[in-house]
């Protein structure tokens, strides 16, 4: 989920948003605070906070995209990286000040479904379904709606898209808004499964970056599929080899794939 949102930002705007994971942490904190008021389910809270995160996305655009739009590709990448890193560091301290040092953990349930003798953890299954639904809806949005098509056009060729009358600023703002919504949803789901430290935003972003590049930038299905495949590889590597070699194997495969897939291309 996190990787899918990052893919949009990276693919469409060429922006490496290191504050992406911090937005997921923000969502988790908001969810935790909201649970004191009312026992929202994760999916209800996601629906309620979608407009808020859309707004955050627009705000983010003003900080890490708009100021650098006219710089060269390399310079805008670096400038947006530095700006988003600065923002991530500011948010880290604000999160600790607001919510304290302890990790954020929002749901505790161990319900398990038994399907043909296979134990499927209930909450994980539901969240997986919700994630698939969200990605499906987002893919439909990109394919079937005008704003979505504009985003795809911008990702393919910025200049040509402008010639066709697509406003790059407005479109990229929308893309970042969508990416931020996805980050928020990812944060709410993540904190339902694992404790999320207030300073873990950067770590989350970096993990998501790999999946983005493996799956291809600028589309939604690629990172989603890549994430699933990586998850399988991790699990099987743990069974076939040892857990301690899992990371080495996974990252070696990823880097190897990148080198083989991308060498010879000019991207």
Partner 1 sequence: MKIYKNRAFFLSFITILALVTIIFFSKPASAESPKEIRIGATVSMSGKFSTEIGPFKNLMEAYATAINTRGGIYVKSVGKRLPVKFIVYDDKSDGPTARKFYERLISVDKADILLGPYSSPVTFAASVAAEDNKVPFIAICANSEKVYNRGFKWIVCVIDAAPRYTHRYWDMIKAEGWAKTVAFVVEDTLHPQGVYRGAKKLADSAGLKEVSLNVLPADTHDFTAAIVKIQKESPDIVFVSANVPFSIAFMRQARELALNPKEFHVIHHGGVFQKALGAGAEGVVGQSYWTQGMNYGNPELFTEVMKRSGISLDDFPWAPAYMMAFETATQAIERAGSLDRKKLLTTLKHLKVMTIGGVVSFSENGVGTINTYPSQIINGQYHIIWPPDIATAKHEYPGSKN
Partner 2 sequence: MKHWQMSLSIIILTALMLSSVIFTKGYHGIFVFSLIINGTMAVSYDIPGRSLGLISLGHAVFFGLGAYCFGILVSKGLSFFPALFLSLVLSVVGALIVTLLMAGLNHGYYSIATLGMLIIFQRLFETLESITGGSAGLYIPNSMSKLHCNLLAAFLLATTVACHALFSQSRWGIYSKETEASEEAAEAIGIPTRTVKIMCLMTAAIPACMAGMLHLARNSHVSPDSGFSLTLSITALLASRIVPVKGILGPLLGVLLITAAEEIIWTKFEGFNHAWFGLILLFAALYQGIDFKRREKISAAAEN
Distances (CA, A) of 180 to 28, 80, 139, 257: 13, 16, 15, 28
Span from 49-57, 170-178, 179-187, 258-266 in contact with partner 2 (CB under 8 A) = 258-266
Q: What is d(CA 46, CA 136) in angstroms, rounded to the nearest whole number?
A: 16
* Backbone phi and psi for residue 243, each to the nearest 5 degrees, phi listed first: -60, -35
Q: What is d(CA 64, CA 123) in angstroms, rounded to the nearest whole number?
A: 35
- Sketch the per residue contact string, 89 through 108, with partner 2: x for CB under 8 A, - otherwise: xxxxxx--x-----------
Q: Does 117 bind partner 2 (CB under 8 A)?
A: no
* Residue 262 touches which of partner 1, partner 2, none (Cβ within 5-8 Å per kind): partner 2
**Rounded to the nearest whole angstrom, what is the least distance from the CB of residue 9 to partner 2 in the complex?**
11
Q: Does 77 bind partner 2 (CB under 8 A)?
A: yes
Q: What is d(CA 139, CA 127) in angstroms, rounded to the nearest whole number?
A: 18
Span from 167-175, 179-187, 208-216, 228-236 in contact with partner 2 (CB under 8 A) = 208-216
- Interacting residue with partner 2 among 14, 174, 198, 227 (CB under 8 A): 14
Q: Does 252 bind partner 2 (CB under 8 A)?
A: yes
**Rounded to the nearest whole angstrom, what is the least distance from the CB of residue 38 to partner 2 in the complex?**
31
* Backbone phi and psi for residue 115, each to the nearest 5 degrees, phi listed first: -115, 110
* Residue 85 touches which of partner 1, partner 2, none (Cβ within 5-8 Å per kind): partner 2
Binding site for partner 1 (CB under 8 A): 92, 96, 101-103, 105, 108, 110, 112, 119, 121-124, 193-195, 197-199, 231, 234-235, 238-239, 242-244, 246-247
- Those residues whose C-beta lies under 8 Å from the C-beta of residue 216, and which sit 6 or more positions away, are 7, 11, 222, 223, 226
Sign of CA dihedral 63, 66, 67, 71: positive
Q: Are strands 118-121 and 112-115 parallel, antiparallel or unpaired?
A: antiparallel
Return the residues of window 220-249 that contact partner 2 according to CB under 8 A: 244-245, 247-248
- H/E stretch holding 114 reads strand 112-115
* Residue 20 touches which of partner 1, partner 2, none (Cβ within 5-8 Å per kind): none
Of 148 and 200, the one with the shorter C-beta distance to partner 1 is 200
Burial class (CB in 10 A: 0-12, 13-18, 19+), 62: exposed
Q: Does 82 bind partner 2 (CB under 8 A)?
A: yes
* Residue 231 touches which of partner 1, partner 2, none (Cβ within 5-8 Å per kind): partner 1
Q: Residue 116 CB: number of other CB atoms within 10 A?
A: 4
Please answer whether residues 19 and 8 qualify as being in contact, where contact means their C-beta atoms are separated by less than 8 angstroms: no
Which structure tokens are listed for 147? Answer: 């704003």
Span from 70-78, 98-106, 139-147, 170-178 in contact with partner 2 (CB under 8 A) = 70-78
Q: What is d(CA 198, CA 91) in angstroms, rounded to the nearest whole number?
A: 9
- Residues lying near partner 2 in the complex (CB under 8 A): 10, 14, 16, 63, 67-68, 70-75, 77-83, 85-94, 97, 206, 209-210, 212-213, 217, 244-245, 247-248, 251-252, 254-255, 258-259, 262-264, 266-267
């Amino acid at each position: 989920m996190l990787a899918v949102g990052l893919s949009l930002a990276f693919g469409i705007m060429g922006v490496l948003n290191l504050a992406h994971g911090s937005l997921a942490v923000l969502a988790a904190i908001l969810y935790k605070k909201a649970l004191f008021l009312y026992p929202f389910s994760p999916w209800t809270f996601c629906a309620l906070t979608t407009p808020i995160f859309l707004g955050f996305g627009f705000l983010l655009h003003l900080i890490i995209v708009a100021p650098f739009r006219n710089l060269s590709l390399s310079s805008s990448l670096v400038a947006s990286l530095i700006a988003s890193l600065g923002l991530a560091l500011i948010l880290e301290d604000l999160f600790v000040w607001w919510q304290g040092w302890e990790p954020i953990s929002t749901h505790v349930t161990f319900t398990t479904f038994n399907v043909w003798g296979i134990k499927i953890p209930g909450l994980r299954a539901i969240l997986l379904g919700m994630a698939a639904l969200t990605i499906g809806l987002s893919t439909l949005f990109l394919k079937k709606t005008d704003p979505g098509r504009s985003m795809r056009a911008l990702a393919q060729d910025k200049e040509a898209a402008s010639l066709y009358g697509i406003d790059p600023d407005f479109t990229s703002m929308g893309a970042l808004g969508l990416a931020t919504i996805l980050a928020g949803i990812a944060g709410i789901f993540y904190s339902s499964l694992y404790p999320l430290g207030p300073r873990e935003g950067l770590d989350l972003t970096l993990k998501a970056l790999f999946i983005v590049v493996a799956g291809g930038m600028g589309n939604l299905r690629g990172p989603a599929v890549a994430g699933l495949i990586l998850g399988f590889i991790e699990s099987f590597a743990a069974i076939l080899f040892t857990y301690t070699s899992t990371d080495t194997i996974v990252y070696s495969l990823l880097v190897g794939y990148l080198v083989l897939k991308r060498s010879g291309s000019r991207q």
